[in-house]
Amino acid sequence: MKVQIDRRRIWLIIILKSFRPVFFLATGLFFFYIINLPTPDGLTIQGQRAIALFVVCLILWVTGLLPLAITSLLAIVTVPLLGILDKKETYALFGNEAVFFILGAFILAGAAMHSGLSSRIALAIMNRFGNTPAGLVFSIFILAAVLSFFMSEHAVAAMLFPIVLEIAKGLNLKPGKSNYAKSLFLALAWGCIIGGIATFLGGARVPLAVGMLKEATGINIDFFEYTVMVFPTVLIMLLIGYFWLTRFFPSDIEDIHLAKSVFERKMKEIGKTGYMEYAVGFVMIITILFWLFFGKSLGIANIAIVSVVALFILKLVRWKDIEEYVNWGIILMYGGAITLGASMEKSGAAAWIANTIIGDWANSPLLVIAIFSLLTILLTEGMSNAAVIAILLPVGIGMASQFNIEPKLITYAIAVPAGLAFCFPMATPANAIAVSSGYITTKDMAKAGIVMMILAWVVFNMTARFYWPMIGIKL
């Protein structure tokens, strides 16, 4: 038998081997310590327990030592066990409209990918507009953004990545050295990130935030209203993003005719547009129109689920196909986050935190928006954007109720910047994919991304200051 000797320093081995059990033991002890502290004035026992659970989830989400979905399941079972909410109420929260909307949107995106419709649109646009080096970067950037308006930004990144990789290869760009390759992969990642905040469909974080808001306050944000509020931020960020991308990584090639042959070969491979692509496209268009114009009256989740049923009636997908395209585990994450948020709100813990910790400075909505958006944009660089929402939104909504600030504004201030993670691969899968290509390093991404992060925060706050009042939002 082959015996391997661990030759690292002994103290390092001991720390590494004992870290996990010690960490979980310490987290558990900390949880019991918070629960057993004397209950502060103004806080109920249920509120204190909700805070203890909130802290544990915060630690687990930040460290990532458990999968996000498992931490959420832990939250779901602990809420009734600690008597924060009763069992029936807790599990009913999992059936929130937002969870079913997310489910429906994932299935629709899965159908678009399975039919090949999304790849065809991508290739057609790149082939049409990618005639010069700048044109190709622009077409990838805008294409990634526009597709992310209609389907999950992660799905868009995964779908476009092999095409961009082949373009880089076809153009003989040197991994880690070519500026042009760096701009191509960042165009893909940033396009997905910026486009992903434009509608409810770019990621599950916005429906999650809206679901948490509705659960806590009864206030709803509909599909159209959200898009109208956010669109100027998206447009300005797209302009800034393209400008910055082409300045930070000026093109080092002049001719891209070799990329054209990649498009032509790929287009040949996928053949002519078939019935399935037309039909899926038709269902998607009808669904989006219904979300935009009848979302309020019919309910976005209902529309999503009816469209999913339509896909099966028209025999456009099989269940087996859909199973392969949807990450079912992540849906647990969203159900858990809504449960945790509701337990914080209903137990009075969120309001207590808002009163005690945040205090008197929260006297101006603009200042509150600036601070929450800053916190969010910083946190989202290091952790999952859904986890950032699950952590900050209950406190934000609690604070809004305490200080007479419109809770919708806080929801925007957290839900939108939560998607704007430009700097690190661990922040979002689109960045991770770009770095995994080897054409761009983490250092390049961080250097270019930090400017984007600052600009994104400024643009979002400027939009809130000048644009929102123009469309009738009182600050």
Partner 1 sequence: MKNILLILSTSRTSEDAIEYSVHLAKKEKAKLVVLYIIETELTNEVFDKFTDIGFIGDKPSTQLTEAIMKEYRQRGYEEMGKVQIRAMEENVDFDAVTTQGDFVEKAIEVIGRYKIDTAVAIKRKRSVFLKYFSKSMVDELAERAPCKVEVFEE
Query: Binding of partner 1 at residue 94 (CB under 8 A)?
Result: no
Query: Binding of partner 1 at residue 159 (CB under 8 A)?
Result: yes
In this chain, which of 330, 350, 391, 399 binds partner 1, going by CB under 8 A?
Answer: 330
In this chain, which of 155, 221, 370, 388 binds partner 1, going by CB under 8 A?
Answer: 155
Query: Binding of partner 1 at residue 110 (CB under 8 A)?
Result: yes
Which residues, including other chains, have CB under 8 Å from residue 268's CB and lie 6 or more apart? none
Q: Least distance in Å: CB of 48 to partner 1?
A: 30
In this chain, which of 412, 429, 456, 468 binds partner 1, going by CB under 8 A?
Answer: 429
In this chain, which of 56, 303, 392, 435 binds partner 1, going by CB under 8 A?
Answer: 435
| CA-closest candidate to residue 160, choices 235, 262, 21 | 262
Query: Binding of partner 1 at residue 461 (CB under 8 A)?
Result: no
Give the interface segment with partner 1, choosing from 146-154, 213-221, 270-278, 297-305 (CB under 8 A).
146-154
Indicate the Cα dihedral angle 312, 313, 316, 321, nearest 10°. Answer: 20
Q: Please report, in angstroms and rounded to a whole number, the separation of the first and last CA atoms in the chain.
A: 71
d(CA 372, CA 159): 33
Burial of 243 (0-12, 13-18, 19+ CB in 10 A): exposed
The pair phi, psi for residue 318, each rounded to 5°, is: -110, 160
Q: Least distance in Å: CB of 447 to partner 1?
A: 15
Contact pattern from residue 172 through residue 191 relative to partner 1, giving x for each residue in contact according to CB under 8 A and a dash for the rest: ---x----------------
8-state DSSP, 425 = T
In this chain, which of 86, 264, 269, 323 binds partner 1, going by CB under 8 A?
Answer: 323
Query: Binding of partner 1 at residue 336 (CB under 8 A)?
Result: no
d(CA 299, CA 222): 9
Give the interface segment with partner 1, choosing from 40-48, 63-71, 306-314, 396-404 (CB under 8 A).
63-71
> Identity (one letter) of the amino acid at 178?
S
d(CA 456, CA 408): 20
| CA-closest candidate to residue 391, choices 208, 214, 255 | 208
Residues that bind partner 1 (CB under 8 A): 7-8, 12, 64, 67-69, 106, 109-110, 113, 152-155, 158-159, 161-162, 165, 169, 175, 203-204, 323-330, 333, 384, 386, 426, 428-429, 432-433, 435-438
